[in-house]
Structure formats: C-alpha cells, structure tokens
Amino acid sequence: MDQPQPNVDEVVQAIATETDTPTETVLKIYADTMADFSSGARVFDYLPLLTAKRVRDKLRHSKRRH
C-alpha cells in the first residue's frame, strides 16, 4: 500500500515556521536534499519524510552555530 505523500508546500512552510527561516531558503534546501536522496534511490516511499527530517536537522544545526 502506498503512503500518502505530504504536500511539499505545507511541509516547507512548517519547517520555515519551526526554524524561523525564510520559506524560499527552506524550499531550496528541501529541493536540493530531495534531489540528493532521489538519485540512486530504489525505494521512494519515505523520501519526503527523510528529506523533511534532514532539512530540519540542517537548519537547526546551522542556527545553533550562529
């Protein structure tokens, strides 16, 4: 059974709000991360979830460094 795919705009907006980061920046990081994960992937079911987690982690880590 296929997993329902999250709405990318909603995910990006949620991450932007959580991390106090401009939506455009989050969208760029999300798209780049999704592209990285997609290349060579054999299973795509969890890519949106893994991508969102990686973007959140990356932004939270960068905020702590400043």
Q: Which two tokens stand for residue 13?
A: 């907006």
Structure confidence at residue 63 (pLDDT): 77
- pLDDT tier at 1, thresholds 50, 70, 90: very low
Digit-coded pLDDT (tens) for 5-62: 679 999 999 999 999 999 999 999 999 999 999 998 998 999 999 999 999 999 999 8
Structure confidence at residue 2 (pLDDT): 56
**Which SS3 state, helix, strand or coil, does residue 4 take?**
coil
DSSP state, residue 6: P
DSSP states of 18-36 as a string?
HHT--HHHHHHHHHHHHHH
